[in-house]
Amino acid sequence: MKQRPICIITEFLENGCLLNFLRQKMGRLTKECLLAMCQDTCEGMEYLENNGFIHRDLAARNCLVSEKHVVKVCDFGMTRFVLDNEYISSTGSKFPVKWSPPEVFHYSKYSSKSDVWSYGVLMWEIFTEGRTPFENKSNPEVVDEITQGHRLYKPYLASRDVYQVMYSCWHEVCYLLLAKLVFLSVLFNSIK
């Protein structure tokens, strides 16, 4: 698996990119629909983690939406297969700062934990209907803010429980993705 390239075939999803979909449907999607989109993505990330992959670029721009509003994770350009649940990026590699945890921008260290952080930001994107995280901040400002413990604000459409799930993804000491996904799945079912 390490020597041969991996080929990924994805299905055509009628509604295209999640980010554009959220912006186009602003104000017309129910909170239940937004929560279902989060759960779909959670299940997709669980699948990747169970098969030894770290996505490294989870964001609304990298998810697709079906005709029935089912969300699927895509854009695997930065995805890596790992045997020990950790990947150290080469120095100078570009990465999505506003979706990344401190260990990525300080140490270039990726793991399923960094995907959990990005998942929290994706939830935030969904519940803000496609806003850009830290939209008025430069990448260096975001690094400083995250390092100082600042996190994204609670979106208007997110309940306190949903925001608590988001916020739990942004703890610097985070559990393995699978443990988080089990927690998120239980919480999603209790919120519905």
Q: Which residues belong to the active site?
A: 57
Helix axes 112-127, 177-191, angle to 10 degrees: 30
Q: Are 176 and 85 in contact (CB under 8 A)?
A: yes
Return d(Cα 169, Cα 145) in angstroms, integer. Answer: 16
DSSP state of 152: P
CA separation, residue 173 to residues 38, 59, 170, 182, 190 (Å): 22, 21, 9, 17, 25
